[in-house]
Amino acid sequence: MRFKNVFSIIGPAMVGPSSSHTAGAVRIGRVARQLLGTIPNKAAIKLYGSFAETYQGHGTDLALAAGLLDYDTDDARIRHSLKDAWSSGVEINFSLGVGHVSHPNTARVELWAGDRYAEIVGASIGGGNIMIHEMNGFDVQCTGEFPTLVLLHGDFPGVLSGVTHVLCEDGVNIGYMDVDRKARNGEAMTVIEADTKITAATQLKIQQLPHMIKSSVIDLTLRS
């Protein structure tokens, strides 16, 4: 991953009490929401480590709910986000996870909206920064700090060259890329962090490429 400046270490403008337990949790929720592509009808959130031990006292449950509603880290509505979710028809269930995780502030978020489904595993690693370790069962990573393209596609020759060709044509520079696959010639997921905004036109070009199943854009600078 790329260098983070001093302001990302200090943390973002936020509603407290904790950059790790609040701001980071908001961002995890927003990444899950944007991967789903719409507001969820139902959410199942499993908390691990420190998140599981202190989530109500530190407002982690409020922060994750706020992220699902697409509130930003400094939104005053975070304080009543669970009520807002209920009013919006979003059912949220929290549970405590067991077993080893790579970071003590970890959440697994599953979302449903009609026939849509999304699942991520993310950790709040300090200063409001996050690391997503898993998306829809694929072992891929992203930080949420940069515009991110998430692609589900067939594992065939030429798929990634087609994607990079479109990005090059549209002037999008790749800062980071991660790929995982289920099996040879099966489904694969590619995550690309870019230096500039990924437009709807660029996403559409990529979606129309051979063997492309689904494309999503995660950009925490955007609001739904």
> For residue 124, which of 110, 109, 113, 139 has the smallest C-alpha distance?
109
In Å, how far are 23, 41, 43, 125 from 120, measured between CA atoms? 17, 16, 12, 16
Helix (H) or strand (E) holding 116: strand 116-126
Contact in structure between 55 and 106 (CB atoms under 8 Å): no
Structure tokens at 48: 């691990």
Q: How many residues does the chain have?
A: 224
Structure tokens at 92: 């949220």
Contacts of 151 (CB under 8 A, 6+ apart): 163, 189, 190, 191, 192, 206, 212, 214, 215, 216
Q: Each residue's pLDDT tens digit in the chain (224 positions)? A: 444 554 444 455 444 445 555 889 999 999 999 999 999 999 999 999 888 887 666 689 999 999 999 999 889 999 999 999 999 999 999 999 887 777 789 999 999 999 999 999 999 998 889 999 999 999 999 999 999 999 999 999 999 999 999 999 999 999 999 999 988 889 999 999 999 999 999 999 999 999 999 999 999 988 76
